[in-house]
């Protein structure tokens, strides 16, 4: 009995001593467990500055000695942080804007918890070690979402977030859309975002207006600035035209004739090559200036080109140099389906439209130190039916000019291509087109004529060719569809030659000429955009523009049988 009383008194005194030593200087051994449940752990006695054995009741305990020594050396624990309830009083103060911390390991097992990710504006899981964390941790995703994601609102205002502790995904704003590579800024109720941004989840994100500005308005503004800059850039000219000479081919009629007169009136020394003597005489009568020189020229003849070169060299003085060569000569030799044509038709077109350009350019290349300007056609980028030889030659000329433009870059010789639409030149003439169809048809054998029939031949050129352009040309194209390609060409042809001549002149006088000039509204807004479409689109649209109501006789008979 006496022994029992002594034992009870001893335990009571020990309990009182432990309670007295809990605050503020650290923990002593204290346990309400029976002796058989006692599990010794290391603890830190700050009064005696020594290690003692503790139990599983409080937080001043560690599984091994090195664990608390590491924490003590890093100043993560101390006499002022010890509490029987928790190490850090901030644990119980929920803070959605605090950085995620795993805490110090102070339990036998890690615990799955959730934190609020400001960058993505979502609740994310993480493994919590058990001690020394912060308020941005929740026991479940539901609790995190209700507290931080805005469904019930934030319990407390957002706080300034230290930038060095919180990671943000690169170029993302809440994981919803790109930040346009702008610098990600932090924000809070006390720190506002810059103009064009709004605070969302502690991050400055671009507003929808800012997104629309970058996606839609900015390209428009940049395009306008480019157009204005290019316009001003192209106003710069070479100057001193009186010391420059220009050699132009194909000046009997059309664009070449008008260009020769304009260049002479503005001070150029002009050498105008004409195929016929009548062309030379009429041009001299229209422009009797002494600086305009006419000469015979056949671009299919090497001898003719050589004689022209000798004449140019004999006329030029020391102060006047050959500045530019203009390849304007061209023909539209024949018209009709490829089945009606022969190899000579292609040779004739190539001799003038392609090989003629090459002959003249090679002969005058070393003499010209400035410009080589060549006219091709929209048919040099977009093919059309019933014009095979012409289209083939124009495609070849475009390829040749693209090639020498790159080769002559280092010699400071600039090469330009003009791509006119359809203009009412002698090439696009009603009677001339009738003659081309009749010429090709007349040489066909009887079998081929019977295969196609007179109706198809008439449809190609004879009955519907006398179409006169009236009113709006584009209205006629799309709402009164032409019955033949001849009719379509005539209806679309323009008499405004200045579209081509002005581009010619700019290519000769501009300090920074373009590589390509699109001449005419039809070229700019119909043929060039059409050439950029997929091939099957192009074929479909051309068939609709040149709607064919008559088929060859052999096909018509088959259709009737069906």
Instruction: Tell me the H-state helices in 26-150.
Output: 65-73, 141-148
Strands 172-173 and 130-131, bridge-based pairing: unpaired
Tell me how crowded residue 326 is: count the other CB atoms within 10 A of its CB. 31
- Helix and strand counts by DSSP (H, E) for the chain: 20, 17
DSSP assignment letter at 240: -
Q: What is the CA radius of gyration of the chain?
A: 45
Residue with tokens 């989840």: 201
Q: What angle do CA 413, 419, 350 make, to 5 degrees?
A: 85
Tell me how crowded residue 133 is: count the other CB atoms within 10 A of its CB. 23
Look up 147 and say whether it is catalytic.
no
- Residues in Cβ contact with 292 at an 8 Å cutoff, skipping those fewer than 6 apart: 260, 261, 264, 270, 272, 283, 284
Nearest one of 395, 435, 411 to 531, comparing CA atoms: 395
Annotated catalytic residue within 115, 147, 335, 390: 390
**Strand ranges inside 435-551, DSSP E:** 516-519
104-126 core/surface letters (b: 16 or more CB in 10 A; e: else): bbbeeeeeebbbbbbbbbbbeeb
Residue 421: both structure tokens together:
């639409």
Tell me how crowded residue 270 is: count the other CB atoms within 10 A of its CB. 26
How big is the chain, counted in residues? 562
Strands 321-327 and 244-248, bridge-based pairing: parallel
Strands 122-128 and 111-117, bridge-based pairing: antiparallel
Tell me how crowded residue 142 is: count the other CB atoms within 10 A of its CB. 12
Active site residues: 390
């Amino acid at each position: 009995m006496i022994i029992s009383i002594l034992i009870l008194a001893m335990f009571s005194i020990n309990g009182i001593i432990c309670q007295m030593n809990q605050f503020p200087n650290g923990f002593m051994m204290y346990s309400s467990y029976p002796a058989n449940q006692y599990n010794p752990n290391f603890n830190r006695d700050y009064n005696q500055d020594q290690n003692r054995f503790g139990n599983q009741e409080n937080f001043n305990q560690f599984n091994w000695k090195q664990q608390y020594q590491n924490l003590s050396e890093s100043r993560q624990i101390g006499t002022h942080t010890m509490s029987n309830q928790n190490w850090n009083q901030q644990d119980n103060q929920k803070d959605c804007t605090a950085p995620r911390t795993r805490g110090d390991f102070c339990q036998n097992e890690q615990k799955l918890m959730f934190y609020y990710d400001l960058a993505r504006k979502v609740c994310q899981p993480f493994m919590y070690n058990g001690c020394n964390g912060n308020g941005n941790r929740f026991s479940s995703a539901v609790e995190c979402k209700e507290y931080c994601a805005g469904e019930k609102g934030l319990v407390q205002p957002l706080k300034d977030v230290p930038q060095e502790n919180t990671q943000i995904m690169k170029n993302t704003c809440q994981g919803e859309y790109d930040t346009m590579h702008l610098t990600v800024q932090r924000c809070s109720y006390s720190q506002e975002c810059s103009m064009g941004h709004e605070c969302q989840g502690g991050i400055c994100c671009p507003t929808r207006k800012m997104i629309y500005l970058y996606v839609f308005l900015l390209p428009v503004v940049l395009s306008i600035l480019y157009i204005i800059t290019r316009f001003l850039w192209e106003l710069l000219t070479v100057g001193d035209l009186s010391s420059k000479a220009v050699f132009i081919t194909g000046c009997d009629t059309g664009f070449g004739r008008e260009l020769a007169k304009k260049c002479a009136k503005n001070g150029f020394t002009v050498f105008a090559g004409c195929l016929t003597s009548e062309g030379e005489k009429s041009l001299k009568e229209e422009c009797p200036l002494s600086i305009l020189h006419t000469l015979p020229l056949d671009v299919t003849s090497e001898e003719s080109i050589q004689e022209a070169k000798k004449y140019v060299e004999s006329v030029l003085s020391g102060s006047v140099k050959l500045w530019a060569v203009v390849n304007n000569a061209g023909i539209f030799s024949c018209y009709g389906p490829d089945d009606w044509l022969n190899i000579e038709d292609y040779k004739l077109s190539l001799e003038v439209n392609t090989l003629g350009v090459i002959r003249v350019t090679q002969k005058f290349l070393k003499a010209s130190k400035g410009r080589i300007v060549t006219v091709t056609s929209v048919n040099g980028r977009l093919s059309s039916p019933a014009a095979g030889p012409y289209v083939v030659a124009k495609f070849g000329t475009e390829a040749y000019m693209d090639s020498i433009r790159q080769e002559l870059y280092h010699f400071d010789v600039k090469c330009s291509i003009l791509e006119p639409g359809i203009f009412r030149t002698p090439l696009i003439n009603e009677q001339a087109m009738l003659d081309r169809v009749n010429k090709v048809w007349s040489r066909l054998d009887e079998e081929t004529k019977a295969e196609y029939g007179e109706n198809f031949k008439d449809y190609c050129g004879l009955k519907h060719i006398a179409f006169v352009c009236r009113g709006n040309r584009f209205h006629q194209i799309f709402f009164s569809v032409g019955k033949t390609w001849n009719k379509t060409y005539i209806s679309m042809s323009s008499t405004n030659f200045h579209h081509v001549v002005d581009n010619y002149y700019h290519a000769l006088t501009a300090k920074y000429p373009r590589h390509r000039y699109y001449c005419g509204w039809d070229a700019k807004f119909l043929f060039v955009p059409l050439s950029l479409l997929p091939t099957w689109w192009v074929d479909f649209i051309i068939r609709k523009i040149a709607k064919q109501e008559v088929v060859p006789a052999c096909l018509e008979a088959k259709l009737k049988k069906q």
